[in-house]
Structure 1
């Protein structure tokens, strides 16, 4: 091998990066620059990666020169919005990061009920901007999450039953493709690309702007948390399963199992929490429904009442500080009978530490009414989505707690249905073609593959759950 090749390649990369530094409105950080170590950090502390350079965009116009630099240098590109992705796709070892995190402006058109967000905006940014006008965009449950990655992968949260996924409420998107084309994607313009953006992740370009349809949301909303000690979990889940069979769509429940950190003052024992968000200005029917559940399954503690939407959305943020070590697994299923309840209670009862949680999202409603073929989201058929999520601080716990998540996921496989949620998949599980085909199903996978070949044939956007062309 020619021993001069590496240094020649390094010189070419250095030249490209030096040129990029001059062209950016923002900042280019390399390993010896002040602030580099902080800039390279993403939420998941297990993803301890050292990029060759990080381009912190100062404006939307910075996207084009960064994509050009990635093409010219051959550096692997990672695109980062909020940086909260469990898989760590917002960074890359030895590559080039396009960090859009400073671009967080959110504007609200109250007359049209449309909300436009820059790609670095977090859910908190969107919630604060919309709540001031009595509006909301259906988003996720941790307000530090970035709106970009959430939308492109799905967006499961407290309004899923009443209003669908975040991506179901996407009105249009501005996209910069691998070749530098600037496209508007919506129902009537580049509709094929719009289809692929809604569930296909970041495979097809950099979204420079998201416009969402907002819904009216009362201020305050009605929230409820019913807390159960382990000896009441099985009966509580049985009663929940019966109670939830004919719920109106305005009732959005999530069942959680976890040990609370000390600041919550809930003791050191694990809890099951049935959380409910009632998405209707008339609280009375929601209170009646919650009372029915309380009567059927009396909680050990509860909190029920009006709450501001931003407060409800951010209530659990402190569980997930930046730098937490995260490993997540998820499974879709439709049964919550005694057999499944015994399995769930079995592994949930093993969680005697602070640093692992389990959520069961009740789906159906508006989520299920979206036609299967309408978006690239993997599947609408399942009634429940279970997520096992880790958020521990010490590397000493990595092996034990990732093993627990895998084991619990394995115990749910007899009940699993097609369609894992990509936003809840860890970095080691970047689907190969076979896994992606299973996740999306053959028809959607082939359609996504066709879009990838059209919009990114060179696979510039590879740091994602990749559809390899």
Structure 2
């Protein structure tokens, strides 16, 4: 770590100790923003996160920021951090609130809500985008699309960009332009002691390295600057759909076909019982979704034709689609309040044994509310050197995300068991990669050793010791300070 700049800001003191009844008024006096307590108007709404299975009661929520114009007030980050430090209360940092593990809230603790920091600035000449730490994917896409630009992000527009980008950021531009972390140029960060720093390749380079894949372990990110890339107004994209009796054949064909597809094409295979509005019936399907990040539609069509030749789909919808429409195409499948339980792993190959497991388990789904995606990696993602960022692994060829998105609590046991069962069956074929943004809340304190390699984990632990030795930022898939 470099020395703290002379211009850094520090947290104003919050007098302590104080009677319990006066704690939160003192916090309210110290911050620019609002404090919401149990019993206050709006508390029950504000405490909710995207995952409906996470139902906790924070002791207080501190929030600040807002859209622009007018310019938002400064976020209440330093005084809230000082308050949490002095009182010892657990702290959660919330942006979009979309994290499946529910790390954006904490039972009986303080929620620092930066979700109001949603401003987005686009420099169309430099092709860069600076977004507030509470901006969503949809905010960025809306701002960049008019300029024919896009930032590599995820696939659900309501996701907060802060949590997504710090963990990795897998989406429809992964093979063409890499992960979100590969496109971060800089970040404004408030550290555990209230110090505000800018992290980039030139300033605080070790912090910059750790932020790009280490999740929310090192500070509160109030803004991120990304590299953006030219993208056609309409993206050649679509889905090739296969029925259940074709799953093995289609997967073997996909394995052969995906070995040499151009980087411009990113594919995500989804197995699920489709919602009624898809008009695909009530049996499980395999949908090979794809997006081409280039101008040459004829070249794209020729690549997709090669898969059709190997395994003709039972149905398809393929056409140029406006980028904003494609990016939000599955939003309705994952509405706010969905009961969500996820597991994930990576694979270095798609061999016969794994294909048998995926096809068999996919056919077992006779219900709506669970599914799983197989992301085709490689391309630009795989060319990033292993030690360039703290993202766990770069040699993965495929990444499996098994997810639940049901509504009825009565389905919890059954649907959770399906996710766990498929994860267990796929484990013998796994390459060892774990992606923190696809991880649930199970045993987060022990997650880091199972996510990062020995050398990478040691480096992350050393960084944690330097910037957060008391582990203030522990409501995450936690990285322990080195001893």
TM-score in same-fold range (> 0.5): yes
- The match for 2:375 is 361
Query: Matched residues in 1 for 2:332 and 2:38: separation?
Result: 30
Q: For residues 316-348 of structure 1, what are the alpha-carbon distances to aligned partners after superposition, in whole Å with 9 as ceiling and x for unaligned?
A: 000111111100000111121222111110111
Farther off after superposition, 170-179 or 422-431: 422-431
Segments of structure 1 that go 5 or more residues without pairing to the other structure are 1-8
- The match for 1:313 is 327
- The match for 2:388 is 374
CA contact (8 A) 2:63 2:75 kept: no
- The match for 2:355 is 341
Deviation at 1:70, TM superposition (A): 1.1
Q: For residues 352-409 of structure 1, what are the alpha-carbon distances to aligned partners after superposition, in whole Å with 9 as ceiling and x for unaligned?
A: 1111111000000100100001111111111000010001101111111111111100
Q: Which structure 2 residues correspond to residues 378-389 of structure 1 after superposition, within 5 A?
A: 378-389=392-403
Query: Matched residues in 1 for 2:307 and 2:136: separation?
Result: 33
Change (3 A) 1:452 1:152: same
1:34 maps onto 2:34 in alignment: no
Deviation at 1:75, TM superposition (A): 1.2
- For the residue of structure 2 that corresponds to 1:371, the secondary structure is coil
- The match for 1:208 is 222
> Which residue of the other structure, out of 175, 178, 186, is the alignment partner of 1:164?
178
Aligned length: 459
Deviation at 1:417, TM superposition (A): 1.4
Farther off after superposition, 411-420 or 79-88: 411-420
Q: For residues 6-46 of structure 1, what are the alpha-carbon distances to aligned partners after superposition, in whole Å with 9 as ceiling and x for unaligned?
A: xxx99644423112212333221100101000000000011
Deviation at 1:67, TM superposition (A): 1.2
- The match for 1:57 is 64
1:22 maps onto 2:29 in alignment: yes
Query: Matched residues in 1 for 2:62 and 2:335: separation?
Result: 24
Deviation at 1:297, TM superposition (A): 1.2
Q: Which structure 2 residues correspond to residues 421-460 of structure 1 after superposition, within 5 A?
A: 421-432=435-446, 435-460=447-472
Query: Matched residues in 2 for 1:359 and 1:165: separation?
Result: 17
1:277 maps onto 2:255 in alignment: no
1:461 maps onto 2:468 in alignment: no
CA contact (8 A) 1:17 1:69 kept: no
- For the residue of structure 2 that corresponds to 1:427, the secondary structure is coil
Q: For residues 201-241 of structure 1, what are the alpha-carbon distances to aligned partners after superposition, in whole Å with 9 as ceiling and x for unaligned?
A: 11110001100000111111111211111011111111111
Query: Matched residues in 1 for 2:351 and 2:166: separation?
Result: 33
Segments of structure 2 that go 5 or more residues without pairing to the other structure are 1-15, 66-72
- The match for 2:9 is none
Query: Matched residues in 1 for 2:42 and 2:458: separation?
Result: 43
Farther off after superposition, 239-248 or 76-85: 239-248
CA contact (8 A) 1:257 1:271 kept: yes
Query: Matched residues in 2 for 1:12 and 1:303: separation?
Result: 63
Per the normalisation by structure 2, the TM-score is: 0.93
Change (3 A) 1:13 1:213: farther
Query: Matched residues in 1 for 2:76 and 2:63: separation?
Result: 9
Q: For residues 397-433 of structure 1, what are the alpha-carbon distances to aligned partners after superposition, in whole Å with 9 as ceiling and x for unaligned?
A: 111111111110010111111220111010113142x
CA contact (8 A) 2:171 2:179 kept: yes
1:235 maps onto 2:275 in alignment: no
CA contact (8 A) 2:59 2:110 kept: yes
- The match for 1:4 is none
Query: Matched residues in 2 for 1:339 and 1:62: separation?
Result: 52
Query: Matched residues in 2 for 1:16 and 1:419: separation?
Result: 43
Query: Matched residues in 2 for 1:31 and 1:431: separation?
Result: 27
Query: Matched residues in 1 for 2:19 and 2:84: separation?
Result: 12
Change (3 A) 1:47 1:439: same
> Which residue of the other structure, out of 181, 187, 191, is the alignment partner of 2:201?
187
Query: Matched residues in 2 for 1:130 and 1:266: separation?
Result: 33
Change (3 A) 1:79 1:291: same
Query: Matched residues in 1 for 2:476 and 2:239: separation?
Result: 35
CA contact (8 A) 2:134 2:222 kept: no
CA contact (8 A) 1:16 1:72 kept: no
- The match for 2:300 is 286
Query: Matched residues in 2 for 1:60 and 1:328: separation?
Result: 35
- For the residue of structure 2 that corresponds to 1:402, the secondary structure is helix
Query: Matched residues in 2 for 1:166 and 1:13: separation?
Result: 42
